[in-house]
């Protein structure tokens, strides 16, 4: 059973529902927010929660996946390289936010992205633009509820930079989103250098979400459990190390990067990594510089709030680098709400640290959110 399926089963067993239905929204036409739900359009205060890790899966993306060989499971999820991609609706997303105290969500496209269209570049470009325009429609209709990270048509590098300009200059997005890897291609590869150069020049925040390794790898090592349970945290860790060892981050250090799930297993194995990479046979890297680079990133805490995890994160990463992440809809609403409470309780966060975790840290690196929450539009008006 997939981890997200197990969470759903536990949630249903204790009689709590996340409030999202199984219907689907029409492409490009967000369903109006139910009028019975509170708007939460309030000034920023100590209780405002900004979620930097949530996803959308509109119907036209689901259909594109089905049209390109993905399979539909009995629960209406799409099976993608061992990961179950659940149904998503706008109503369900807003309901979950309202029920579990999330005021603002920055949405993005999760794995596998559109790498399955890498041999169909025109189709990939067309669907990329459709996804970004759809996310823009959410931010326009609900400017105090939604922001977005721009989706890029990897591996088309020049087109990706143009799409980033479109999202940032025309749509007012919070930043850009990438995956840790696209099949065997890691985000620290030289192919991505022009993209990193662009982000660095313009100081554009980058959000990096894990993706599956090739099926031949995880199928032989996880005994039937999909890669989201084990391989996703490993991929985030591998990417953090690769960005250092490849020199990509040191070459382009002047923009913020957000990693998911507390940095994977990095807080637990950082010393081991430092010891290995500092030896001559492994490159002779300066472990102090490596740790400084790791600690300069930001990390959301989706599925990373247990007591041992929080102890390791607080020991290795400053609390002013921690962000809320719900991982909706892959994680049911009650569990997502638990990520906020769990980090505060298990991490024994001070009132000042709680404020930073809930919203202050996000506002520092994504300043456009503050203007939106206070009612000032920073994007185009059609």
Q: What is the pLDDT of residues 172-222, one digit of tens each?
A: 999 999 999 998 899 999 999 999 999 999 999 999 999 987 655 555 666
Please give the Cα distance from 301 to 49 (Å, whole number).
Answer: 13
For residue 59, give every residue at least 6 positions away whose Cβ sits within 8 Å of its Cβ, in sequence order, or none: 24, 25, 26, 27
Collapsing DSSP to helix, strand or coil, 67 comes out as helix
Give the residue among 183, 192, 148, 191 at the shortest CA–CA distance from 166.
148
SS3 assignment, position 33: coil
Kind plus residue range of the DSSP H or E element containing 181: strand 181-182
pLDDT at residue 338, rounded to an integer = 86
Return d(Cα 77, Cα 56) in angstroms, integer.
13
Q: Compute φ and ψ for 38, nearest 5 degrees.
A: -65, 145
> What are the distances in angstroms from CA 230 to CA 183, 250, 336?
17, 28, 19
Q: Which residues contact 367 (CB under 8 A, 6 or more apart)?
A: none
Q: Which residues pair with 55 in a beta bridge?
A: 108
Could you give the CA distance from residue 292 to residue 317 in angstroms, rounded to a whole number?
10
Which segment, 15-19, 25-29, 313-317, 337-341, is predicted with the most confidence on average? 313-317
Domain spanning 45-373: CATH 3.20.20.140: yes
Q: Give 309-368 as a DSSP string.
A: HHHHHHHHS-GGGEEB---BTTS-HHHHHHHHHHHHHHTT--HHHHHIIIIIHHHHH-TH
What is residue 216's predicted lDDT score, i.e. its pLDDT?
52
- Confidence tier at 336 by pLDDT (50, 70, 90): confident
Does residue 112 have a cis bond before it (omega within 30 degrees)?
A: yes
Which residue's entry shows tokens 């060989």? 69
- Domain chopping of the chain, boundaries: 45-373
For residue 330, the Cα-to-chain-centroid distance in whole angstroms is 11
Q: Is the pLDDT of residue 157 over 70?
A: yes
Pairs from 305-312 (Cβ < 8 Å, separation ≥ 24): 305/338, 305/339, 305/342, 305/343, 305/346, 305/347, 306/342, 306/346, 307/346, 309/262, 309/267, 309/346, 310/342, 310/343, 310/346, 310/347, 310/348, 311/347, 312/267, 312/268
d(CA 277, CA 270): 11
Q: Are strands 104-108 and 83-85 parallel, antiparallel or unpaired?
A: unpaired
- The more confident residue out of 213 and 295 is 295
Least-confidence region, from 28-32, 94-98, 342-346: 28-32
5 CB neighbour count, 10 Å cutoff:
15
Res 81: pLDDT:
76
Share above pLDDT 90 across residues of the chain, in percent, rounded to a whole number: 73
As a whole number, mean pLDDT of residues 34-63 equals 76
The answer to whether residue 80 scores a pLDDT higher than 90 is: no
Query: Does residue 155 have a cis bond before it (omega within 30 degrees)?
Result: yes
CA nearest 332: which of 99, 58, 73?
Answer: 99
């Amino acid at each position: 059973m997939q981890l997200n399926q197990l969470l759903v089963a536990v949630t249903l067993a204790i009689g709590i529902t996340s409030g999202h239905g199984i219907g689907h929204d029409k492409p490009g036409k967000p369903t109006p927010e139910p009028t019975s739900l509170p708007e939460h359009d309030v000034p920023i205060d100590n209780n405002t929660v900004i979620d930097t890790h949530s996803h959308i899966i509109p119907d036209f993306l689901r259909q594109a996946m089905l049209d390109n060989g993905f399979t539909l499971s009995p629960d209406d999820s799409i099976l993608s390289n061992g990961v179950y991609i659940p149904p998503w609706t706008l109503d369900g997303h807003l309901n979950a936010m309202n029920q579990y105290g999330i005021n603002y969500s920055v949405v993005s496209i999760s794995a596998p992205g559109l790498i399955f269209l890498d041999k169909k570049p025109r189709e990939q470009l067309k669907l990329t633009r459709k996804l970004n325009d759809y996310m823009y429609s959410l931010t326009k209709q609900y400017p105090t509820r939604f922001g977005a990270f721009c989706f890029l048509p990897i591996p088309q590098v020049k087109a990706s930079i143009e799409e980033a300009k479109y999202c940032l200059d025309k749509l007012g997005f919070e930043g850009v989103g990438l995956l840790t890897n696209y099949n065997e291609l890691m985000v620290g590869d030289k192919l991505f250098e022009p993209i990193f150069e662009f982000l660095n020049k313009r100081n554009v925040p980058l959000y990096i979400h894990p993706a599956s390794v090739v099926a031949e790898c995880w199928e032989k090592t996880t005994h039937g459990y999909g890669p989201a349970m084990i391989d996703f945290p490993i991929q985030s860790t591998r990417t953090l190390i690769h960005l250092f060892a490849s020199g990509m981050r040191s070459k382009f250090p002047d923009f913020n990067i957000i990693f998911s799930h507390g940095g994977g297993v990095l807080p637990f194995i950082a010393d081991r990594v430092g010891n290995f990479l500092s030896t001559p046979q492994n490159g002779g890297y300066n472990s102090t510089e490596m740790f400084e680079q790791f600690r300069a990133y930001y990390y959301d805490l989706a599925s990373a709030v247990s007591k041992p995890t929080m102890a390791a994160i607080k020991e290795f990463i400053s609390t002013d680098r921690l962000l809320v992440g719900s991982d909706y809809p892959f994680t049911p609403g009650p569990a997502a709400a638990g990520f906020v409470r769990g980090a505060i309780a298990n991490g024994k966060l001070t009132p000042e640290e709680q404020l930073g975790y809930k919203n202050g840290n996000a506002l520092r690196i994504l300043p456009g959110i503050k203007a939106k929450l206070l009612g000032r539009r920073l994007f185009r008006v059609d």
